Structure 1
């Protein structure tokens, strides 16, 4: 009955690596009220009980949120696909108006950066709640009077938010909402005459085509993204790497290696950005991860040492913020490469780590299934356990 708010509490708890018992203890300590127990937390998360306002106040404290922020997340904790699409379409329609006036947009622009930085570590359903909240703000501001320059800034902000919302929708395998949001992002980018945003919209669509298994379309979209984006920009580099991954899926070895060479040339002069976790700023470290993915998809055993190195970097604080979601997919890359190099047993254990990490999202499931099938072909006895874990993962994803 209260599954929306229950799922929100579970996601906020998981994001902070807290068990239900630990959350109960923190709530008891913060409030001075021992009445909260692990069982109470469990009932909230299962949707069997809704937390009273009293406990929402203390949940906000423990989660490090303002009560207003938590209220907003609760209010939109159960979005429907129809609502998602309607929001995207409405924003696209309203942007044609030019009655925008003179209010600062710095906080919204800062919020876009914060959300893009959060993307590698926050589950997509929870991040989408936050993105939608800011899209609502943008929609309201479109009705206010502003200068033309501020109007363009607002349109650009709306395009970035729509693009990030589309990316979350793809992660969640919500194709209709993703398509609507991508159309809106592209429309706003064109309205603002923003080439890099146009390139990102096409690149994101190419990525969706890869997850759908439509690799030839992914190549065309990746090339269109490169034509739209400024040469050398983050969108241009990402689209180039995406083209290489699509070629690898089709077994185009020569084309794949040629694209990898282009990416290497583009990345060579880059410095690590101030915020390497930012989804729309190309971090040179991503290049190694894309090489590992691409070579593993080609079935090249040479991907093994690269994938190991990438995984170590993603999980080592010495290399910046730990990126658990990227680490989970890196394990799938390593597993596929291990199978190609004749090490299916290690591939099996590594795949199990990825599946049970709690960090794979629906857009990754096909990659896990592919690795399991490859391991099965080698007769590894543990494959039955892998399939059981995979089915549990899908069932959990279906309940999101």
Structure 2
């Protein structure tokens, strides 16, 4: 039984407790109550969370008190004992893996007069990037509560703590980055008003930190939401304003991202020519990119990701002969653990195949998308599944399509 695995389990248990809004003392008292004993103390819970002990005999009671599946806890404990090949896949375990262990900012509970230094900034920086990595493999519904808890705690830390100007500026940058990922997570969960609130907080924090590229990243994320929620003209205007805010001296990798968002905004507005022009500018910018120049939040921008946006634009513009090869290539090399992104790309592939008059293949992709959407707390996936099903209604005479609509057509009436 490795020390690392015990610590991972401890971080996992601590996150489950925090997500249930319980203190260590409250958890101990509740475990005593449901078990009919008085043998659990706050100190014992603390030992579990530090990874000093694994509470094997208490797992059934912990599951009951915290409202989590007992099987998930037992798989996690089995992983610690070396009984399974890989870590369990529950959302809390993924967060425990990706968010650095130790107390969250939510438990720092910043007080007036508290001294805040670079150590707190470094901790926040690591946790922000952990949320980015968690978003790669988890859906918005799994991440929204912990992300906003961290954002609110970071705001308190900045407002109520005492810090130097340099530390304050660094905190503001990290608050801007955290607000961006929290907004993205909320948008994926379908909580668009909450997402916009987070994005606006992030824009203001980044402006106060004098971080033009970060302002552009957060504003561009809000523009992307506008484009996808019926505010297409606002999406165009804001995505272009974000590009201007970044300026010509922004790292090329970030400019590639901002041009991609401009392309998507024009696509959603039905403006093919400026969309295609922006796609070309994104690729041109990326050819100039020096990996050392890019900020951490642009870690995912690559030629392959630009090609995915190319394919999405071609699909929306009904150019399937260009879209299908790009999407097929992207899916062949994409990490299967990124289930949401894979399903989203399959949804565009289904649409492109329908436009190419290949309804049988489109139905096969649609079934895969709907299957994933049923098990994922992502409003984006659910919405894309409905879009694909509606598109297939024009091929109702095709047996494969008829079967998919028979099995899943009820999703259209439940929207």
Assess, with a 3 A threshold, how the Cα gap between structure 1 residues 109 and 277 changes in structure 2: closer, same or farther: closer
| Structure-2 residue corresponding to 1:376 | 393
CA distance in 1, matches of 2:189, 2:351: 23
Q: Are 2:127 and 1:111 aligned?
A: yes
Assess, with a 3 A threshold, how the Cα gap between structure 1 residues 141 and 250 changes in structure 2: closer, same or farther: closer
| Structure-1 residue corresponding to 2:228 | 211
Provide the TM-score with structure 1 as the length reference.
0.71
Gaps of 5+ in 2: 1-15, 21-53, 81-87
- The question of whether the paired residues in 2 share the 8 Å contact of 1:235 and 1:280 is answered with no
Shift in Å at residue 251 of structure 1?
3.4
2:355 to 320, 323, 340: 340
Alignment of 1:164-179 (within 5 A): 164-179=181-196
1:308 to 325, 328, 340: 328
With 378-387 and 172-181 compared, the bigger mean Cα shift is at 378-387
| Structure-2 residue corresponding to 1:185 | 202
CA distance in 1, matches of 2:342, 2:151: 29
- The question of whether the paired residues in 2 share the 8 Å contact of 1:331 and 1:350 is answered with yes
Q: Are 2:301 and 1:282 aligned?
A: yes
Structure showing greater relative contact order (alpha-carbon pairs closer than 8 Å, 6 or more residues apart): 1
CA distance in 2, matches of 1:255, 1:311: 27
Instruction: Map Cα deviations across residues 219-245 of structure 1 (whole Å, 9 max, x no partner).
Output: 111111100114353443222112212
Alignment of 1:253-272 (within 5 A): 253-270=272-289
Assess, with a 3 A threshold, how the Cα gap between structure 1 residues 276 and 392 changes in structure 2: closer, same or farther: farther
Q: Secondary structure at the match of 1:193?
A: coil
- The question of whether the paired residues in 1 share the 8 Å contact of 2:141 and 2:377 is answered with no
| Structure-2 residue corresponding to 1:129 | 145
Shift in Å at residue 36 of structure 1?
5.4
Q: Which of 1 and 2 has greater Rg?
A: 2
Provide the TM-score with structure 2 as the length reference.
0.69
With 247-256 and 285-294 compared, the bigger mean Cα shift is at 247-256
CA distance in 1, matches of 2:413, 2:175: 32
CA distance in 1, matches of 2:170, 2:282: 31
| Structure-2 residue corresponding to 1:247 | 266
Shift in Å at residue 253 of structure 1?
2.6
CA distance in 2, matches of 1:286, 1:57: 33
Assess, with a 3 A threshold, how the Cα gap between structure 1 residues 177 and 144 changes in structure 2: closer, same or farther: same
Q: Are 2:157 and 1:141 aligned?
A: yes
Q: Are 2:345 and 1:325 aligned?
A: no
